[in-house]
Amino acid sequence: MRWIAPASKDTDTATLEKQLWAAGDELRANSGLKPAQYNQPVLGLIFLRFVDAKFAARRAQLEKGATGRCGSRVDDA
């Protein structure tokens, strides 16, 4: 996967950036973690987001190929 930055910042990106900085400030101020420990919760969240994206892609692939009752093990939602 390759990400290409937009030519100019849009308001959504600026808003997201502000939210991320605010969350980082909140983490530093109120978490009680030492600076060397910030990576544990942050990397855990990044990992969960990665796994969620992979799961959603695989689920969509299974749903697309599902044929009848026995074609897939995807839950009926």
The total number of structural domains in the chain stands at 1
Which residue range(s) make up the domain with 50?
A: 33-64
In a domain, 37, yes or no: yes
pTM over 0.75: no
Q: Tens-digit pLDDT profile for the chain (77 aa)?
A: 666 666 665 677 778 788 888 888 888 888 888 878 888 888 888 899 899 999 999 999 998 886 555 555 556 55
In a domain, 71, yes or no: no
- b or e along 37-74 (b: 16 or more beta carbons within 10 Å of the residue's beta carbon)? eeeeeeeeeeeeeeeeeeeeeeeeeeeeeeeeeeeeee
In a domain, 52, yes or no: yes
In a domain, 51, yes or no: yes
